[in-house]
Amino acid sequence: MATYREAGVNLESAEAAMSRIAPHIAATQTGGMVGRIGAFGGFFEVPQGFRRPILVSSVDGVGTKVKVAVRAKRHHTIGEDLVNHCVNDIAVCGATPLFFLDYFAAGTLDPGVFESVISGVARGCKAHGMPLIGGETAEMPDLYAPGEYDLAGTVVGIVEHDDILDGSRVAEGDVLIGLPSSGLHTNGYTLARYASFKGARAYSIDDKPPLLKGRTVGEELLQVHRSYLVPIRALCEAGLVHAFAHVTGGGIEGNTRRVVSSPLDLSVRYEAWTRPSVFDFIQRAAEVPEEDMRNTFNLGIGLVALVPPRNLNRAQALLSQCGERPVTIGSVHRHSTS
Amino acid sequence: MATYREAGVNLESAEAAMSRIAPHIAATQTGGMVGRIGAFGGFFEVPQGFRRPILVSSVDGVGTKVKVAVRAKRHHTIGEDLVNHCVNDIAVCGATPLFFLDYFAAGTLDPGVFESVISGVARGCKAHGMPLIGGETAEMPDLYAPGEYDLAGTVVGIVEHDDILDGSRVAEGDVLIGLPSSGLHTNGYTLARYASFKGARAYSIDDKPPLLKGRTVGEELLQVHRSYLVPIRALCEAGLVHAFAHVTGGGIEGNTRRVVSSPLDLSVRYEAWTRPSVFDFIQRAAEVPEEDMRNTFNLGIGLVALVPPRNLNRAQALLSQCGERPVTIGSVHRHSTS
């Protein structure tokens, strides 16, 4: 005789898990929410005051950074990684975030791990003043190995139609201003894990390789993907910027090309900033070719602002006021046909 | 020396996969879309004509129905399952869908399987007149076994504030009208797979057990989760309904209780309709207790409409006009304290 539980799904532990996350979700609630938690859908009122309100949305995961969290048994910040990644993706379009939904899937639901993960999602939402309006928690035995899980999320934001940033304003001569990343963010983890744990010298998660200057491999690889919402909004509201690129999979050039179209091209001076040591650590640990480093990792620059030369000084000053350390890393020019 | 490819991520096959799905995505585009595919976020203009527009969103997966698709090597409808599940979840709140985003994660990206899955997502979107506005495709070696994948999605819809259906209108005496499901929809697959493939008689995906009347196990388990948007909108626009429940994990009573709150309660007459044979097949294959059947599966009723008795005849007539076969399956009464 087979019950649902014997088949591998434990609804009681699912209920216990849901009751654990309820206070975290409640803490994210803001004015725009309508209705109640537990309904089939999440409700959010479209804000007033827009002439042509455009919704901007993005879905993302955190890649195999989840594997590092599992290896390190540290689950409380992976949710922030997710939220910040998603928020950056819509912020670079000129949007401000409205609300968030998460998807958590595991082989078996460990209420402690689950609470830890969702508390991070909620913290990330709260930091951006947006409610966690919906979520799906899936217990899927034999799809995920014991202890493993995947995490994805969707953010929905809003922008006035005339304020959309989609690359169409980018012009010859625009300067690329880079803002520092906090580490690997959420990309390149398959290569980073390969280099760290399967390289010539297979490190453990708690090792402190000399290049990491006293920090463990786990600490370095779990550095939280930072949010750029504050500096992005500051540049947008001051009208100083032509476009932004969020540096994720594909690296600095790959992502900046998403807002620079032919006949324009761009060049990046990789010697313009000091590459954080975690990237040197990865490159040396597995002898990764420089081209793969550039196409895979942010290399210390997590956001690129494309600014016309006339605004450069004001943009840099404004960014400094936001506590940023902006670096001029390249420029936009006409595509060379020679 | 380790390249990103040697570490397990093949960006070229990812690019090939993306170019394969581009025409499917393009086929879903509708009027509300702004901007272009490939931007960091997806853009959609808030429709005009609402006094207090409320966004209604839902995120969901398809559970281990993906494992059945993999076992059957039939990937072209699992995306429709996902879209229809999500659309039903916001439709029961009174909302009409605006746009969709998907999340696809696999160990290694098989461009053929990926195109097949996303073509189903796109077909489901197109059937509802909504664009597939964003998506994340993650290649995550060692999180997913070779050949395996997970699929989740988010729908965003809209409803006029005064037309929200959240259970608050439900009243004593309301009649529960059930609409037929097309099969298991997307819930209970861990138990269904256990019963089918690990029960006393371990069936193969192509077996035709007598109870399934000439259909294979795979055909039955992969029946597409149907959309109820048409009958739901018809009842909403005629103003005949107090609430809806989408019957997913938790069964008929578990889900209908989400819109029936104390001091009201409900009763369901399980003998009021003929249970589709796939449920008898599962129950017998693994001797599943009746209570687990009721708490896990839709048992042939995928949507419940809660209708005041005075509207019952008109609601049934309207549903019949929509091509539905409505069944009166129970009612709302005061919670008995005896």
Structure tokens at B26: 């393009």
Task: For residues A307-311, give the mean pLDDT.
Answer: 98
Residues 150-209 of A with CB under 8 A from B: 150, 152, 154, 156-158, 161, 164, 166-167, 188, 190-191, 193-195, 199
Cα B286 to Cα A7, A10, A143, B269, distances in angstroms:
10, 17, 21, 24
Boundaries of CATH 3.90.650.10 in chain A? 175-334
**Among B18, B59, B87, the residue to mutate for chain A (most A Cβ within 10 A):** B59
* Residue B274 touches partner A, C-beta closer than 8 Å: no
Q: Which two tokens stand for residue A2?
A: 């087979």
Does domain A175-334 match CATH 3.40.605.10?
no
> Which candidate in B34, B108, B154 is best for mutational testing of the A interface (most A CBs within 10 A)?
B154
Residues linked to residue B129 through DSSP beta bridges, in sequence order: none
Q: Is the pLDDT of residue A5 over 90?
A: no
Beta strands in B196-270 (DSSP E): 243-246, 264-268
In this prediction, residue B265 carries a pLDDT of: 97
State the average pLDDT over residues A231-242: 98
Q: What ipTM goes with this model?
A: 0.95
Is residue B7 very low, low, confident or very high in pLDDT (cuts 50, 70, 90)? confident
Q: What is the pTM of this model?
A: 0.96
How far, in Å, CA of B11 to CA of A251, rounded?
12
Q: Which of B41, B64, B292 has its CB closest to that of A95?
A: B41
Query: Is residue A50 over pLDDT 90?
Result: yes
Give per-residue pLDDT as tens, B66-109: 999 999 999 999 999 999 999 999 999 999 999 999 999 999 99
b/e burial code for range A282-302 (CB count within 10 A of at least 16 → b): bbebbebeeebbbbbbbbbbb
Q: Give one DSSP letter per residue of A239-256, joined into a string.
A: T--SEEEE--TTHHHHHH
B60 contacts A93? CB cut-off 8 A? no
Lowest mean pLDDT among A220-224, A272-276, B8-12, B165-169: B8-12
For the ranges A35-44, A203-212, B33-42, B235-244, the lowest mean pLDDT is seen at B33-42
Q: pLDDT grade, residue B18 (50/70/90)?
A: confident
Residue B121 to residue B101: CA distance in whole angstroms: 9
Q: What's the pLDDT at B160?
A: 97
Using 50, 70 and 90 to split pLDDT, how confident is the model at B263?
very high
For residue B178, what is the DSSP state? E
Read off the pLDDT of residues B282-321 as tens digits, 9 standing for 90 and up. 999 999 999 999 999 999 999 999 999 999 999 999 999 9
**Per-residue pLDDT tens over the stretch A179-225:** 999 999 999 999 999 999 998 889 999 999 999 999 999 999 999 99
Is a pLDDT exceeding 70 seen at residue B37? no
pLDDT for residue A4 is more than 90: no
Test the A interface: residue of B57, B85, B247 with most A CBs within 10 Å: B57
**Which tens digits make up the pLDDT trace of A13-37?**
778 888 899 999 999 988 777 766 6
Interface of A with B in 99-138 (CB under 8 A): 99, 101-103, 105, 133-136, 138
CATH (residue range B4-163): 3.30.1330.10
CB pairs under 8 A between A and B: 265
In A, which residues are within 8 Å of B55 by CB distance?
Answer: 43-46, 55, 98-99, 156
Q: What is the pLDDT of residue B247?
A: 98
Mutation to test the B interface, candidates A6, A55, A81, most B Cβ within 10 Å: A55
Q: Which residue of B has its CA nearest to A195?
A: B2
Q: What is the mean pLDDT of chain B?
A: 94
Q: Which residue of B has its CA nearest to A140?
A: B64
Interchain pair B136, A38: CB under 8 A:
no
Name chain B contacts of A288, Cβ cutoff 8 Å. Answer: 1-3
Q: In angstroms, what separates the C-alpha of B277 from chain A's closest C-alpha? A: 18
Q: Taking the CB of residue A73, how many other CB atoms lie within 10 A of it?
A: 11
| Cα dihedral B21, B228, B57, B139 sign | negative
Note the pLDDT tens digit of each residue in A80-124: 999 999 999 999 999 999 999 999 999 999 999 999 999 999 999
CA A200 to chain centroid, in Å, comes to 30
B42:A57 CB<8 A: yes
- Residue ranges matching CATH 3.30.1330.10 in chain B: 4-163
pLDDT for B278 beyond 90: yes
| Whether the predicted pLDDT of A38 surpasses 70 | no
The average pLDDT across B38-64 equals 94
Nearest to B195 among A2, A92, A258 (CB): A2
